[in-house]
Structure 1
Amino acid sequence: MKAFVLDRYGQKGGLRLADVPQPELRGDEVLVQVHAAGVNLLDAKIRDGEFKLILPYRLPLILGHDVAGVVVQVGPDVRRFTPGDEVYARADDFRIGSFAEYVPVKEASLARKPSNLTWEEAASIPLVALTAWQALVERARLQKGQKVFIQAGSGGVGTMAIQLARHLGAVVATTTGSSNLALVKSLGADVAIDYTAQDFEDVLHGYDVVLNSQDGKTLAKSLRVLRPGGQLISISGPPDPAFGQQIGAPGFVKLLMRLLSAGIRRKARRQGVDFSFLFMRADGTQLGEITRCIEAGAIRPVVDRVFAFEQTNEAMAYVETGRAKGKVVIKLK
């Protein structure tokens, strides 16, 4: 099969298009023929070696976390899917590889593709929607009437998180550039702050939850918009000791995480705020819940551009510019 392969970390020249063996299935996996694959900044960060300690992949490696496609083969332990099923998923850590014609996915990580979406739209959903779900539903337990601040509202996670929070009945604030204010409002943002003209810290006060996706300076400012007892959930770091425990990291990695997050955890304690780091995981059950929201019209995909499979390196470069509204997708079929 054809695939885009990473031969070494820091490969700024791009991934290599190659013919590679079709992956072998494990008992609890299905083989998906890829029709479309979502592109995430996480793919670029793995390519550049930024996650070597957290995700020690063996090279060469096929990148790609989001997939929408058709089941062509199932393992002997699979019960819920059969060949011909239209599905989508966030591929599992250490089994990623949707920048290819075929990718194996655990049955537990797979969901049926929303009936009202195209392949490209479906491929844009899993990673960002699961991130939003695990942050707002699972971690924050966001309730109707609570106030949530979602940073970078026009990005991949932001566009999903705004819609999900609105669906849950929360009051939603976000930041974006002036050209994207109409977009985030159309997705359900009650307060849309143009970050080029205003500082969110001057506008927002007494919030229950902040979903942080930006740098350390923004993370520190986010503490100050929360009420006592509020939650600061960061998907951009720094990783905390609880995350190190969750992934079973070696002792020196746990120590590093403790040191990296010590400052923000100390500041959070002083202000009576809870800080936690979230690294999303594949989850087919949660993705099934998201499917129901999509089919009911509560959540819609936001796709900026669709690239041909041969343009995978160009698609990744576009994602790295940070200018995409919503998601970028690669089309194979």
Structure 2
Amino acid sequence: MRAFQVEDLAQGAPLSLTKVPVPAPGSGQVLIKVHAAGATPTELLWYPTSHQENGAGRRHAIPGHEFSGTVAGLGKGVSGFAPGDEVYGMNDWYWEGATAEYCLTTPSSIALKPKSLTHVEAATVPISALTAWQGLFDRAKIQGGERILVQGGAGGVGLFVVQLAHRHGAHVIATASKEDISLLQSLGAAEVIDYKAARFEDGLAAIDVVFDTVGGSIRKRSAAVLKPGGRLISVAADGETSTDPQATRPDFIVEPNQAQLTEIARILDQAVLKTFVKGVVPFKDAALAYTGAVPGKRTAGKFVVEVVSA
């Protein structure tokens, strides 16, 4: 099969197209024929991309840990899915990704694809929506009526945080560029702050939850607007190194969860949530999705690598 693998990032060509054997599903595993894979450019810099779980070095990792496709094979002991089922999901970070024609996964990492979405649309969902879901409900335990500040509201994760928090009855405040203000208001944000025009902390206080997707100084400054007992959830790439005493699990990393994917699919099929495709890249040009060099106008959402053309 064809697959894109991570090479020497320092050489300026982060991914190379290679041919590798189609993996065979072992006991408890599912083989997926990938139709589309979401692209998260920062994934190339994450620890699991260059390291095995035991800390040893790792080479030639396949990126793209969220995907949509069809079940192509089942390992021993797998139930609940059948060949041909349309599914979507995300792999654990130490597994190979889905920027390939096939990938292995586990039943607990996938769910039936939302019927209302194409494979391209569905591939934008798992990592971002699960991150939003787990941050809001498992970590912050947000309640209706609480005030939440979403740092980076128009990013892949932020778009789902805004929608899910609004749906849960929270008062949503988001930071974004002025180009995204109308979009976020349409998704349920009661207030949107243009981060280029104003310092968010100058007009905010008594925030119950900060959901930070930006990190760095933004995370540190966010602590100033929290009310006593407020919760700061950081999912930024540098969150794992945070020493902020007010951060709730600053090293929070999203995990695959079949039950949550199933519920998210149900909500998506009710047209309560919206997905956003920033751009579609044909499989042969997958490397462009990781460099941001995709032509076209600026839009919110996530790049998707289309492995099988619709």
Is 1:295 the counterpart of 2:269? The answer is yes
Describe the superposition over 1:180-230 as per-residue Cα deviations: whole angstroms up to 9, x where unpaired: 111111111111011111111012211111011213211111001111000
Structure 2 gap ranges (5+): none
Alignment of 1:142-161 (within 5 A): 142-161=142-161
8 Å Cα contact 1:5/1:63 also seen in 2 = yes
> TM-score, with normalisation over the residues of structure 1?
0.86
Which residue in 2 is equivalent to 1:30? 30
8 Å Cα contact 2:281/2:294 also seen in 1 = no
Describe the superposition over 1:53-106 as per-residue Cα deviations: whole angstroms up to 9, x where unpaired: 796562121111111000010111111101010000011222132000001110
- Quote how far apart the aligned CAs of 1:18 are: 0.9
SS, match of residue 76 in structure 1: coil
Alignment of 1:65-80 (within 5 A): 65-80=65-80
Alignment of 1:17-96 (within 5 A): 17-46=17-46, 52=50, 56=55, 58-96=58-96
Describe the superposition over 1:152-178 as per-residue Cα deviations: whole angstroms up to 9, x where unpaired: 111100111111111111110101111
Is 1:311 the counterpart of 2:292? The answer is no
8 Å Cα contact 1:318/1:324 also seen in 2 = no
8 Å Cα contact 1:39/1:319 also seen in 2 = no
Determine the C-alpha separation between the residues in 2 that align with 1:54 and 1:188. Answer: 41
Determine the C-alpha separation between the residues in 1 that align with 2:26 and 2:303. Answer: 30
Determine the C-alpha separation between the residues in 1 that align with 2:238 and 2:16. Answer: 31
Which residue in 2 is equivalent to 1:113? 113
SS, match of residue 292 in structure 2: helix
SS, match of residue 232 in structure 1: strand
8 Å Cα contact 2:29/2:106 also seen in 1 = yes
SS, match of residue 136 in structure 1: helix
Structure 1 gap ranges (5+): 241-259
Describe the superposition over 1:293-324 as per-residue Cα deviations: whole angstroms up to 9, x where unpaired: 11122211011111101111111111899x65
Describe the superposition over 1:3-29 as per-residue Cα deviations: whole angstroms up to 9, x where unpaired: 001234545312110111111212111
8 Å Cα contact 1:109/1:285 also seen in 2 = no
- Quote how far apart the aligned CAs of 1:289 are: 1.2
In structure 2, relative to structure 1, the CA distance for the partners of 1:275 and 1:201 (3 Å cut) is farther
Which residue in 2 is equivalent to 1:99? 99
8 Å Cα contact 1:66/1:89 also seen in 2 = yes
SS, match of residue 250 in structure 2: strand
Aligned residues: 304
- RMSD of aligned alpha carbons: 2.1
In structure 2, relative to structure 1, the CA distance for the partners of 1:10 and 1:82 (3 Å cut) is farther
In structure 2, relative to structure 1, the CA distance for the partners of 1:163 and 1:215 (3 Å cut) is same
Which residue in 2 is equivalent to 1:13? 13
Determine the C-alpha separation between the residues in 1 that align with 2:80 and 2:225. Answer: 45
Which residue in 1 is equivalent to 2:303? 328
- Quote how far apart the aligned CAs of 1:237 are: 5.4
Is 1:285 the counterpart of 2:259? The answer is yes
SS, match of residue 148 in structure 1: strand
SS, match of residue 61 in structure 1: coil
